[in-house]
Structure 1
């Protein structure tokens, strides 16, 4: 256990180094939020992948293949299509102006009301969605502390772990700004990927070389390697029916990488449009292979724990804590911390950015003060899952995706309408009300009809576009 703790302490020191190394260059907004667009696109690509690849991927992706198969790769295929659409259609507009926040682009087209409404919805969805991600990342730390013999309730251990994670991340985010966050993301992504590869090799080693082929064939007979779901069921969950999954994945990616400030921020921080397009499309390919790696881990864990009753969302954490020897346990826990902290730091920075620029808070507060405020707020949001997780029917990864799916569809519609160059048939204030009403309608339809998260985004998009089109028709008739 000593060496595990030594690895974690060394990791935290490295993170602090990056934060304070770049602290002297973050006094101005363009540096604190975009690093003056001086960072090479390769580092921004890795930062983008690290940001979207949270602890949910590290810990929950294996649970999907552990309890099912490889059908989640359908979503990843949709991700690549969606990012390509953003790169070719939306991204040129973001580089045509001199905006720091993409919501400023909407504000320039439709006025301050839609701009602030988008910013507010982004804030709420990020706090709730990333609060879940932060919560998940605290589980293995709590397990590790429990293994050390600390006899405290799991809830108290979890909250303590969340506190440690939050404090460290807030410090380097506040002092280092965007530049420190990007290069720390690169470090954390390398640790994260090496941790995943090590876990896969370790599981294979547990079987022994002669048994590997036998186990792979056994998984094949169980259908654990299946990727495409070709059968549509009349009653039941069709989230992964191939058509819904790929289209839904594409819409999710258009929403997240085309309208979500936290992820778009990494794309517009590069020097030119071509580099931004490389970042977007390249990140989709990298994420696909990341999913493949962790789905392989989940399938092999199914064989490893066959016959044992372990909750799917905790199976990888269980393996890490109970099967990984020291000091490699510390390395894997550091990988989990890396995946969590990269997302947390990026969320803090982007929330600070949107409230500085879209709400004009930079007149009263510095970027560092705003970052500190949202860091504390995000920590408080991470405590919410302690009251929800026991009663939620779906896995925690799908829970996080569902939260974002309610808002992504209407958000995509706003940006596509802005791109169309046509004026709105209603005022900016009324359009903002339409946008919020559309989100509530999407939530209502999703809950009432129990729609899959892959359908929520297209429905939200189509509903808002249809409503605006109807207003245009009515306006023409009145004339």
Structure 2
């Protein structure tokens, strides 16, 4: 494929995104940036959230992992389905009842101001680490596929991509990305289907024949029945449900789009549709992974893991499929990065700077400060991507899930305490408890060979982390006095 031609397709695609963003950001203000003026259509949000939930890591790492773990990742996705249902039935009614712009404001109302800032702080750390790890992987693939041949160093390529994202999120925020994410999700799914169909054709197999060939080569195992394994099915399903609640229901980026929907019923339909579609889409990604390994075996390709998808497409498939692959990869990249920068800006401005409570700031000052914060997070993203480039972990999806287990656990514990308990937390102790729970988890994981024998901790580490934080808050709590504390069933809309 002509490497001079590929950048033209990338620029044309970005131009389409920019035009869409300019159209949607007309008349945008701070409320548009933070919550899209609460007038987003639920179907647009649901479709766009598919791309945000999957990201470039799913596009590259999930097919690549089939060679090592088969289809066992589907166990996590099934658990996520139940987690999304829990979000729709428990968390969304709470967020809409309180009319929250930041979901961590709930922690302030229920537990206290230090808990509020602790929750927002953990989100900022969690989302920054997760989003930049995803961004690193996709930029690395784009660099190897096309940008390196243009003479661009990795750092320059990353800076250009972040600049592109800034250009279409700088003004409109959520109001813009609800629409741009919809376009990009369509591009990603189209790329997935085209690549899978072409590989089936190249292998001269239909879907049942391909499935039989995968099973014959041991690529299609779904259920892991060994209780000591980190991939044991029950642990994976529970972990998947916990991951969905923590990384979607307690994540400002994901919920920011949900609470931009006009009504609670619309937001719930969005979440339930997302739950159903995600199972089907990830199953197709895993099937694509099996096709990639069948094809690699046929042509004698040694690439494995995160490298196999790019190696097959860029060295063995026609030029037009390579263009589709690169555009689909960009479509997978942008939704996770643009939403993360926007959500981090929102959380920093609302939760840490208290922007919406500052009556002494006019709209012009709010916009100026918000834009500076937005630029600051873009610079931080660039620095973190370069750090991940230096670390060079061979399987980014495993690293991202491990980071999530440590950083989302305290959020899970704080929200669980607020919703499930009627006791009053000792707010000054919350930051220390929130830091102690992941520290204890790290100690347990580092010594598991000595303390747990053959048992190996997997993604249930997130549930354990949240449970330790919940227990710590419970032990330090006191009986509620005065008014009944706001919970999922009792919280009222503040006047």
State TM-score, norm by structure 1. Answer: 0.90
Q: Secondary structure at the match of 2:459?
A: helix
- 2:308 aligned with 1:303, yes or no? no
- 2:175 aligned with 1:218, yes or no? no
Counterparts of 1:278 and 1:75, CA distance in 2: 22
Q: Does the aligned pair in 2 maintain the 1:3–1:326 contact within 8 Å?
A: no
Q: Per-residue deviation at 1:101? A: 0.1
- Residue 448 of structure 1 aligns with which residue? 447
Q: Secondary structure at the match of 2:231?
A: coil
- Residue 458 of structure 1 aligns with which residue? 463
- Residue 266 of structure 1 aligns with which residue? 257
- Residue 241 of structure 1 aligns with which residue? 232
Q: Secondary structure at the match of 2:225?
A: coil
CA 1:170–1:445 in structure 2 vs 1: closer, same or farther (change >3 Å)?
A: farther
- 2:392 aligned with 1:389, yes or no? yes
Where does 1:352-431 land on structure 2 (aligned, <5 Å)?
A: 352-360=345-353, 362=355, 363=361, 365-366=366-367, 367-390=370-393, 395-420=395-420, 422-426=422-426, 428-431=427-430
Q: Does the aligned pair in 2 maintain the 1:173–1:349 contact within 8 Å?
A: yes
- Residue 35 of structure 1 aligns with which residue? 36
Q: Secondary structure at the match of 2:26?
A: helix
- 2:273 aligned with 1:282, yes or no? yes
- 2:463 aligned with 1:467, yes or no? no
Counterparts of 1:326 and 1:274, CA distance in 2: 45
CA 1:338–1:253 in structure 2 vs 1: closer, same or farther (change >3 Å)?
A: same
- Residue 182 of structure 1 aligns with which residue? 178
Q: Per-residue deviation at 1:222? A: 2.4
Q: C-alpha offsets along residues 162-203 of structure 1, whole Å, 9 cap, x if unaligned?
A: 122111001111123211111000000000000000110111
Counterparts of 2:381 and 2:354, CA distance in 1: 18
State TM-score, norm by structure 2. Answer: 0.88
Q: C-alpha offsets along residues 350-392 of structure 1, whole Å, 9 cap, x if unaligned?
A: 11111111112635652333222212211221111122225x6
Q: Which moved more, 1:358-367 or 1:80-89?
A: 358-367
Q: Secondary structure at the match of 1:303?
A: helix
Q: Does the aligned pair in 2 maintain the 1:22–1:177 contact within 8 Å?
A: no
Which runs of no fewer than 5 residues in structure 2 stay unpaired? 356-360, 450-455, 481-495
Q: Secondary structure at the match of 2:319?
A: coil
CA 1:16–1:319 in structure 2 vs 1: closer, same or farther (change >3 Å)?
A: same
- 2:172 aligned with 1:170, yes or no? no
- Residue 131 of structure 2 aligns with which residue? 130
- Residue 342 of structure 2 aligns with which residue? 349
- Number of residue equivalences: 460
CA 1:347–1:425 in structure 2 vs 1: closer, same or farther (change >3 Å)?
A: closer
CA 1:432–1:302 in structure 2 vs 1: closer, same or farther (change >3 Å)?
A: same
- Residue 492 of structure 2 aligns with which residue? none
Q: C-alpha offsets along residues 91-149 of structure 1, whole Å, 9 cap, x if unaligned?
A: 2111111220000111111121111111111111111111110011112321233684x
Counterparts of 1:271 and 1:329, CA distance in 2: 40
Q: C-alpha offsets along residues 56-115 of structure 1, whole Å, 9 cap, x if unaligned?
A: 011111011133311100000000111111211222111111220000111111121111
Q: Which moved more, 1:355-364 or 1:253-262?
A: 355-364
Counterparts of 1:370 and 1:271, CA distance in 2: 27
Residue among 205, 227, 232 paired with 1:232: 227
Q: Secondary structure at the match of 1:53?
A: helix
Q: Does the aligned pair in 2 maintain the 1:141–1:158 contact within 8 Å?
A: no
Counterparts of 1:147 and 1:102, CA distance in 2: 41
Q: Does the aligned pair in 2 maintain the 1:425–1:472 contact within 8 Å?
A: yes
